[in-house]
Structure 1
Amino acid sequence: MAEERKKNLSRRDFLKTSGIATGTLLGGGLIGGLVGYNVKRTNVAEPETKTEAQKTETFKGRMFFTNNKDFNTLSQATERIFPKDDLGPGAIDLGVPYFIDNQLAGNYGNNTKEYMQGPFFAGEATQGYQSRLTRAEIFSQGIAKLNEEATKRFKKSFSELEGNQMDEILTDFQKDKIKMTAVSSAFFFRLLRQATLEGAYADPIYNGNNNMDAWRMKGFPGHQASYINVIENKEFQKIDPKSVSSMMH
């Protein structure tokens, strides 16, 4: 009975026990619980219909990845990190790939506000950004390497692989087993994982967190103008979340 319960442990339970549910970023050794955890394979596709919230709050379009192969690779990689399950949508349905794509095309991808001059030395695991490459360059190389490994091992592009095959490659990136130039594969993976979580939980104005569904899974109310009507209520308040965009109308 205990074994069956362990097997059916939901993603929500895992996120709570790992600290993500309370906003804590993961450390380097916890990816075993994220990659492929309770995952259901999801194909890259635009939803056929959109809610009114999605129509008014998001304007999706690719700004960085210029071909479908690269974008599909990014999409499937994020889905393995934040998979769809019975509790809610995964990275693809939440629009995370568009969030990352758009961020890479701007200041985040270009490291505009960060010191990027030499000398460049290999940093310790406890240190922050150490590469001479921008995030945009790291992601471009990382996505290419994901496809390169997929072709080398399975004669297919990354997005065409089975879930366990994707997990094998992603885990080797996390364990720093893949050779990359001017950056470690483990560092690329940390960037990918962090960007995936940020895209899932960011305000929808940044083209992630479609329809605020990730906030709904956590019971987060988003950006409310006031709590004056409920602030003195001792019972838990379930509040429908609001985006920053709702304050602009």
Structure 2
Amino acid sequence: MENEKKGVSRRDFMKTTGIATGTLVGGGIIGGLIGYNVNRDTVTDETTGNQQGGGQGQDHPTNVGLKFFTSMTQFNILSAATERIFPEDDLGPGAIGLGVPYFIDNQLAGSYGMNAKEYMQGPFEDGATTQGYQSRLTRAEIFSQGIAKLDEEAFSRFDKSFSEIEPEQMDEILTAFQKGEVSMQAVTSDFFFKLLRQATLEGAYADPIYNGNRNMEGWKMKGFPGHQFSYIGQIESEEFVEIEPKSISSMTH
């Protein structure tokens, strides 16, 4: 199967992450999302770049306007990295198909990227693995540096940009980051990798109103119903009930 050639299937990957057990909660994007970076009323036309009215319902259009990244080179590196973490396979779309890169871009431009809700004063010490955020850098700064380092490693090892190398070569570099083997300033590469992986997974499963989980495909793969007004019609059923998922945006119309 094609997904076996990629190393690890999404099904196996989910078993090794908090997504499968519901433990990927707290300290991430979702905890600070409400009220920030929400594309409530406008989307950007893919061909003209002009904003149009409309919510983020099931036919969730792509918001192609970048809010944080200033070059497509940076954005393409981010996209390639997220796709390796959450690849397309026989179960459904990967990170790119789900709009995860746009989700991360939008969040880095807001309170998540600037650590608006966290204490960011010194002293700054190397934290233990059980401790929370310890870096003097904001998430936006960490992502900017991390993406530059991904490209630097790609040129050093394979004489090409990260977005141009083979998938197996991308995996080699990402694994080096995960193991903390790449030198970074004021943060470790394994910490950057954790942020990148968590942001990727949250973008795949967040409500589409935040520009990820396009068309609620992430929810559909998990059989998650999204935001329903009520389950009164299904709660007494002894059989498993498949429910078409709904976005928060559907409740505002």
Whole-angstrom CA distance in 2 between matches of 1:72 and 1:140: 13
Q: C-alpha offsets along residues 207-240 of structure 1, whole Å, 9 cap, x if unaligned?
A: 0000000100000000001111111111100000
**Normalised TM-score (structure 1):** 0.83
Q: Once the 2 structures are TM-superposed, how far is the Cα of residue 57 of structure 1 from its aligned partner?
A: 6.4
Whole-angstrom CA distance in 1 between matches of 2:225 and 2:178: 33
Q: Which of these residues, 64, 71, 74, is aligned with residue 68 of structure 2?
A: 64
Whole-angstrom CA distance in 1 between matches of 2:170 and 2:163: 8
Q: Classify the secondary structure of the residue corresponding to 1:150.
A: helix
Partner of 1:115: 119
Q: Classify the secondary structure of the residue corresponding to 1:92.
A: coil
Partner of 1:197: 201
Whole-angstrom CA distance in 1 between matches of 2:115 and 2:17: 29
Whole-angstrom CA distance in 1 between matches of 2:92 and 2:59: 20
For structure 2, the residue ranges without an aligned partner over 5 or more in a row are 26-45, 47-55
Partner of 1:224: 228
> Which amino acid is the alignment partner of residue 157 of structure 1?
S
Q: C-alpha offsets along residues 182-201 of structure 1, whole Å, 9 cap, x if unaligned?
A: 00001000000000000000
Q: Once the 2 structures are TM-superposed, how far is the Cα of residue 59 of structure 1 from its aligned partner?
A: 3.6
Contact 1:58 1:206 in 2 (8 A): no
- The answer to whether the aligner puts 1:211 opposite 2:215 as a matched pair is yes
Whole-angstrom CA distance in 2 between matches of 1:81 and 1:116: 29
For structure 1, the residue ranges without an aligned partner over 5 or more in a row are 27-45, 47-51
Q: Once the 2 structures are TM-superposed, how far is the Cα of residue 16 of structure 1 from its aligned partner?
A: 3.6
Partner of 1:90: 94
> Which amino acid is the alignment partner of residue 229 of structure 2?
A
- Compared CA separation, residues 159 and 57, structure 1 to 2 (3 A): closer
More helix, by proportion: 1
Q: Once the 2 structures are TM-superposed, how far is the Cα of residue 15 of structure 1 from its aligned partner?
A: 1.4
Partner of 1:36: none
Contact 2:98 2:218 in 1 (8 A): yes
- Compared CA separation, residues 113 and 14, structure 1 to 2 (3 A): closer
> Which amino acid is the alignment partner of residue 139 of structure 1?
F
Q: Which of these residues, 148, 151, 175, is aligned with residue 147 of structure 1?
A: 151
Partner of 1:40: none
Partner of 1:178: 182
- Compared CA separation, residues 14 and 170, structure 1 to 2 (3 A): closer
Contact 2:113 2:138 in 1 (8 A): yes
Partner of 1:20: 19
Q: Once the 2 structures are TM-superposed, how far is the Cα of residue 113 of structure 1 from its aligned partner?
A: 0.8
Partner of 1:136: 140
| 1:45-84 matches, cutoff 5 A | 53=57, 55=59, 59-84=63-88
Identity level (%): 72
> Which amino acid is the alignment partner of residue 64 of structure 1?
F
> Which amino acid is the alignment partner of residue 222 of structure 2?
K
Q: Once the 2 structures are TM-superposed, how far is the Cα of residue 69 of structure 1 from its aligned partner?
A: 0.6
> Which amino acid is the alignment partner of residue 185 of structure 1?
S
Equivalenced residue count is: 221
Q: Classify the secondary structure of the residue corresponding to 1:139.
A: helix
> Which amino acid is the alignment partner of residue 14 of structure 2?
L
Q: Classify the secondary structure of the residue corresponding to 2:91.
A: coil
Q: Once the 2 structures are TM-superposed, how far is the Cα of residue 25 of structure 1 from its aligned partner?
A: 3.3
Whole-angstrom CA distance in 2 between matches of 1:59 and 1:166: 26
| 1:235-246 matches, cutoff 5 A | 235-246=239-250
Contact 1:58 1:205 in 2 (8 A): no
Whole-angstrom CA distance in 2 between matches of 1:106 and 1:178: 27
